Amino acid sequence: MKHQMFLLILAESFIKEQLIPTPKECKMKKGVFLSFEGIDGCGKTTQIMNLEDYLKKKDVPVITAREPGGTALGGGIRRMLKYPEETYKLLNERYKNNKDFVLLPVEQLRTFESEIFLFLAARAEFVNYIVEPNLNKGVSVIADRFADSTRAYQGGGIAKSNPRIIELINKNHDFILKRYWPDKTFFLDINYEVSKHRLGLINAGNDDFEKRKKDFFEGIIREYHNIAKENPKRVVVINGTKSIDDIFNNDILPYVNSIYGF
Ligand code: ADP
Ligand code: TYD
């Protein structure tokens, strides 16, 4: 009897040791999820390249990923979002003799509702196939845009921060992301004029199209600020007009060093 008790206790402690890693092990085993956000030309790519180099020099396993990040369905969806006409024409050509296929009206514009759900669908693939497995095997993930982009671009830029649309995007992100919200999000804040200047797109035009574009980007920026206010622990707002080195050394590294314990 005594012998059996001893074996039971031994077995129990063995199982516990196998299944419950110490907090230190947990920390080492999980990667850190960082995302960069802001309007086009805000400096995400530049800062991400610096950060990836920095982490690699510190022997941190890390990947930089941008949606759809090599997922099959996500890649297909993003192709359709970015080059719709070209994609529909290819499908028409490929399947024109197929009985099950009805030719796609290539010039028909997608609806706004579909645009939201297509970005979200591509994100679901990205979370499941890229973010989750890497973090779980201890690889940190730096994302060049993530969930906040849909809330800012579709919710802020197109829907003008309509509360119903913002709520819809938030609820769907809770469903899609599961618990994989970034640990930290760096929002590089620049205005429309700086973006235009940096991307070399300055022209004197002040027509309706130009105005709409400015409105659109102002809506995006406003929504990024709303996101930051609602998520003060996750989102760091950075003045993106400072120098590249200043931003990296003074606005990004302190958070990164504290997360990794450097
Ligand atoms: P994003 O990836 O956000 O579109 P990039 O990193 O590609 O932005 O930067 C867009 C352009 O602006 C590049 O030419 C880059 O060199 C320049 N740039 C990036 N950060 C800064 C900065 N802090 N100050 C001035 N120019 C910058
Ligand atoms: P992308 O193909 O990721 O990058 P790039 O054009 O720089 O090669 O497209 C980025 C554009 O898509 C950018 O203008 C922001 C926009 N976008 C949205 O409108 N919603 C989203 O959810 C995401 C992720 C991006």
For residue 63, give its domain range. Answer: 35-260
In a domain, 149, yes or no: yes
In a domain, 4, yes or no: no
Whether the ω angle into residue 68 lies within 30 degrees of 0, i.e. cis, is: yes
CB of 236 within 8 A of CB of 255?
yes
Rounded Cα distance, 183 and 109, in Å: 36
End-to-end alpha carbon distance in the chain: 52
51 alpha carbon, closest ligand? 1
pLDDT tens digits along 130-143: 999 999 999 999 99
Ligand 2 centroid–CA 162 distance in Å is 21
Average pLDDT rounded to a whole number, residues 62-70? 94
Which of 260, 254, 236 lies closest to 36 in space, CA to CA? 236
Rounded Cα distance, 132 and 54, in Å: 23
C-beta 40 within 6 A of ligand 2 = yes
Q: How many domains is the chain built from?
A: 1
In a domain, 235, yes or no: yes
- Residues with CB under 6 Å of ligand 1 are 38, 40-46, 198, 243-244, 247
In a domain, 251, yes or no: yes
Kindly report the CATH number assigned to the domain that includes residue 249. Answer: 3.40.50.300
In a domain, 126, yes or no: yes
Rounded Cα distance, 130 and 71, in Å: 8
Please identify, by atom number, the ligand 2 atom nearest to the C-alpha of residue 144.
3
CB of 88 within 8 A of CB of 106?
yes
In a domain, 119, yes or no: yes
In this predicted structure, which of 19-23, 163-167, 221-225, 236-240 has the lowest mean pLDDT?
A: 19-23
- Which contacts (CB < 8 Å, 24+ apart) does range 58-63 have? 58/260, 58/262, 60/140, 60/260, 61/31, 61/138, 61/139, 61/140, 62/31, 62/139, 62/140, 62/141, 62/142, 63/134, 63/139, 63/140, 63/141, 63/142
In a domain, 10, yes or no: no
Q: What is the predicted pLDDT for the residue at 200?
A: 82
Could you say which DSSP state residue 248 is in?
I
Which of 59, 31, 239 lies closest to 142 in space, CA to CA? 31
pLDDT tens digits along 3-60: 554 444 444 443 343 333 333 444 447 999 999 999 999 999 999 999 999 999 999 9
In a domain, 115, yes or no: yes
